[in-house]
Chains A and B, each alone.
Chain A
Amino acid sequence: MAVIELMAEEIVKTPLTSQDKPDVLRELVQILMDAGRIDNFDSVLSAVQEREDQMSTGLEGGIAVPHAKSASVDSLKMAIGIAPAGIDFNALDGNPTKLFFLLVAPPDKAGPHVQALAEIAKLAQSKAFCRALINAENAAEVVELMRGD
Chain B
Amino acid sequence: MPTFDSKKIAHAHREVHAHLPSDPALRVKALESLLVEKGLVASETIDNWIELYSERIGPMRGARLVARSWTDPAFRDRLLSDAGQVVKDYGYQGHATEHLKAVENTPGVHNLVVCTLCSCYPFSILGMSPIWYRSAAYRARAVKEPRVVLHEFGVTLPEDVGVRVWDSTAELRYLVIPERPKGTEGWDEDHLAAIVTRDSMIGTQRDLSVEPA
Whether chain B is bound by chain A comes out as no
B-contacting residues of A (Cβ < 8 Å)?
none
